[in-house]
């Protein structure tokens, strides 16, 4: 009971004094409540707002593929440079030793890994895979003539027959020393026939002596396609939908390539421009072999495809670019198109980016570029061919709001030290 004979009377007496002002006696209570409010806000933010990726389940560290007789294989363990590197770094830390991640990452087994996140993509996946395998097999596959390795290089054969350097510099090898490719299809909790479509595609390009070529976003159907080796396309299933960022990050943890690119399942980005990304990445790579090349649609801003978009979509696009320029570090803010789903990473750059990823939604591209900037990794922006493909799952209004919110949370967390490298 307060001084006035009723609950809370003591505090009311301090407020309702003769001067009409708050009593100085209230200051300690106000400070206590302010501190409590700050602690409560931080608790809610760190536990319910900050993105926390769930650890992968054991079944998600396996893959299935199609064998030489066209059968779907039983789940097999996925190679994981991420887990092996984590073991080495933990042991080195316990022993007080410093390790350079780019020299400790497992050597590449193929030249190119393409990570394809797929969520309910049964209607669009076939065309993208057709164009991808035609380009990959022609440029980097076993059908292409591999140049002879220097006599001083120690070499070995991988289980799938590709030749690689046993001790490549900085975790990578030069292009002439390595051939081969793989596609990691990350089935992000799909509920449709995405996996069945991929399986059928593999069978149609493994069994026939002369596979037919299906049409895609950039090419037309023809009688002449390419034959692929069994195991070239590996299907990984996530038990629950994680979002595009989660699927891409999961795939990159298991990539075997000297270069790793992620590409959307709709085939909107022209896969034949992959060579431009590789050249750009090679040109800007630092002495450690680290480099990132991002596909860009910025040159299409004034094109008919963009002009025909709704005014709302164009307004939201420009608003998001402004937010990026204001809220991201300088180098990231200068990139004209951060959201294009066509980005290439050298193998040596992966340990500086993939282990520190937190975002699993649409804004994950920005976090990758920020991490590259924090680590001093050179980034090149490359103009690529791109076209609109029907069937997008992007809700322009709500996803734009979500991306703006995600960007704010991301910048705050890295800015105040909630996230650390």
Angle subtended by helix axes 194-206 and 125-140, to nearest 10:
40
What number is the average pLDDT over the span 77-99? 91
The residue with tokens 């060579």 is: 275
What's the average model confidence in pLDDT over 343-361?
A: 96
pLDDT in the model for residue 166: 38
Q: Are 321 and 403 in contact (CB under 8 A)?
A: no
Q: Binning pLDDT at 50, 70 and 90, where does residue 174 land?
A: very low
Q: What confidence tier does 306 reach under pLDDT thresholds 50, 70, 90?
A: low
Mean pLDDT value across residues 16-21:
57
Of 82, 85, 91, give the one whose Cα is nearest residue 103: 85
**Cβ-contact 184, 116 below 8 angstroms:** yes
CA proximity to 384, closest of 292, 304, 284, 272: 272
Question: Mean per-residue pLDDT for 337-359?
Answer: 96
- Using 50, 70 and 90 to split pLDDT, how confident is the model at 30? confident
For residues 173 and 171, give the distance between their C-alpha atoms in angstroms, rounded to a whole number.
Answer: 7
- Give yes or no for residue 114 having a pLDDT over 50: yes
d(CA 80, CA 123): 30
Say what the pLDDT of residue 308 is.
58
Q: CB neighbours of 85 closer than 8 A, spacing ≥ 6?
A: 101, 104, 105, 106, 351, 355
Half-sphere exposure of 324 (CA within 13 A, CB side): 24
Can you tell me the mean pLDDT for 394-415?
A: 84
How high does pLDDT run on average in the chain?
A: 85
Cβ neighbours around 40 below 10 Å, total? 10
Please report the pLDDT score of residue 396 as a whole number.
72
* Residue bearing tokens 């294989």: 73
Return the pLDDT at 155.
Answer: 39
Backbone angles phi, psi at 32, to 5 degrees: -65, -45
pLDDT at 126: 95
User: Which of 348, 221, 228, 240 lies closest to 288, judged by CA?
Assistant: 348
Residue 229: which H helix or E strand, with range?
A: none
What percent of the chain shows pLDDT beyond 90?
A: 53
Q: What is the pLDDT of residues 215-274, one digit of tens each?
A: 888 988 887 889 999 999 999 999 999 999 999 999 999 999 999 999 999 999 999 999
Task: Measure the CA–CA gap between 342 and 354, rounded to whole angstroms.
Answer: 16
pLDDT at 292: 98
What are the angstrom distances between the C-alpha of 331 and each of 100, 376, 413, 421? 24, 10, 18, 18
Q: What's the whole-number mean pLDDT along residues 197-222?
A: 90
What is the structure's pLDDT at 15? Answer: 57
In this predicted structure, the answer to whether residue 411 has a pLDDT above a threshold of 90 is no
Using DSSP, state whether 61 is helix, strand or coil. helix
Predicted pLDDT at 162: 45
**Residues present in the chain in total:** 421
CA–CA distance from 4 to each of 8, 12, 23 (Å)? 9, 9, 17
Question: What's the rounded Cα separation, in Å, for the pair 128 and 264?
Answer: 8
pLDDT score recorded for residue 156: 41
In the predicted model, is pLDDT for residue 17 greater than 60? no
Beta carbons within 8 Å of 301's beta carbon, 6+ residues apart: none
Q: Which residue has the higher pLDDT, 103 or 3?
A: 103
pLDDT higher than 60, residue 200:
yes
- Give the per-residue pLDDT at 303: 67
Is residue 113 pLDDT above 50, yes or no?
yes
pLDDT of residue 210: 82
* Residue 8, pLDDT above cutoff 70: no
pLDDT tens for each residue of 36-63: 888 888 778 777 788 888 899 999 999 9
pLDDT at residue 143 is higher than 60: no
Stronger pLDDT, 210 or 407, i.e. the higher one:
407
Which pLDDT score is estimated for 144?
A: 54
SS3 3: coil
Closest CA to 389 of 131, 135, 4: 131
Cβ(340)–Cβ(261) below 8 Å: no
Separation between Cα atoms, residue 362 and residue 86, nearest integer Å:
27
- pLDDT, one tens digit per residue, over 175-191 is 446 899 999 999 999 99
Task: Identify the CA nearest to 180 among candidates 213, 133, 212.
Answer: 133
pLDDT at residue 145, as a whole number? 47
Candidates 64, 215, 210, 72; CA nearest to 130 is 215
pLDDT score for 167? 39
More confident residue, 129 or 52: 129
Grouping H, G, I as helix, E, B as strand and the rest as coil, residue 220 is: coil
In whole angstroms, give the CA distance from residue 41 to residue 39.
Answer: 5
**Burial grade of 31 (CB within 10 A; 0-12, 13-18, 19 or more):** exposed
pLDDT for the residue numbered 412: 87
Q: Which is more confidently placed, 315 or 275?
A: 275
Question: Where do the domains of the chain lie, and which CATH numbers do they carry?
Answer: 1-49 (no CATH), 56-416 (3.90.550.10)
Percent of the chain with pLDDT over 70: 82
Query: How many other C-beta atoms are found inside a 10 Å radius of the C-beta of residue 129?
Result: 25
């Amino acid at each position: 009971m307060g001084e006035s004979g009723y609950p809370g009377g003591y505090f009311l007496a301090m407020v309702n004094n003769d001067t009409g002002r708050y009593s100085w006696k209230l200051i300690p209570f106000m400070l206590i409540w302010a501190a409590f409010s700050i602690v409560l806000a931080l608790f809610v933010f760190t536990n319910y707002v900050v993105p926390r990726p769930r650890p992968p389940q054991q079944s998600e560290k396996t893959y299935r593929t199609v064998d030489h007789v066209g059968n779907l294989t039983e789940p097999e363990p996925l190679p994981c440079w991420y887990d092996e590197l984590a073991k080495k770094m933990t042991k080195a830390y316990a022993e007080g030793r410093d390790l350079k991640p780019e020299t400790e990452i497992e050597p590449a087994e193929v030249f190119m890994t393409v990570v394809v996140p797929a969520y309910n993509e049964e209607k669009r996946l076939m065309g993208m895979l057709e164009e991808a395998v035609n380009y990959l097999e022609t440029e980097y596959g076993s059908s292409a003539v591999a140049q002879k390795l220097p006599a001083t290089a120690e070499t070995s054969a991988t289980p799938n027959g590709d030749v690689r350097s046993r001790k490549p510099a900085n975790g990578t090898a030069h292009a002439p020393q390595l051939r081969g490719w793989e596609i990691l299809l990350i089935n992000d909790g799909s509920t449709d026939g995405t996996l069945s479509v991929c399986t059928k595609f593999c069978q149609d390009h493994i069994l026939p002596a002369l596979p037919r070529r299906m049409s895609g976003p950039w090419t037309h159907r023809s009688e002449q396609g390419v034959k692929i080796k069994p195991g070239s396309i590996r299907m990984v299933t996530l038990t629950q939908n994680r979002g595009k960022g989660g699927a891409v990050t999961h795939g990159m943890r298991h990539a075997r390539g000297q270069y790793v690119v992620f590409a959307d399942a709709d085939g909107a980005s022209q896969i034949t421009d992959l060579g431009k990304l590789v050249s750009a990445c090679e040109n800007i790579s630092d002495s450690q072999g680290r480099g990132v090349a991002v596909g860009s649609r910025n040159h299409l801003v004034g094109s008919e495809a963009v002009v025909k978009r709704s005014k709302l979509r164009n307004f939201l696009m420009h608003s998001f670019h402004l937010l990026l320029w204001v809220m991201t570090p300088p180098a990231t803010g200068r990139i004209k198109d951060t959201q294009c789903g066509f980005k290439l990473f050298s193998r040596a750059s992966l340990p500086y980016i993939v282990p520190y990823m937190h975002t699993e939604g649409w804004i994950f591209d920005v976090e990758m570029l920020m991490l590259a900037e924090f680590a001093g990794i050179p980034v090149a922006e490359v103009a690529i061919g791109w076209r609109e493909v029907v069937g997008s799952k992007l809700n322009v209004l709500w996803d734009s709001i979500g991306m703006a919110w995600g960007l704010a949370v991301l910048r705050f967390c890295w800015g105040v030290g909630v996230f650390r490298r």
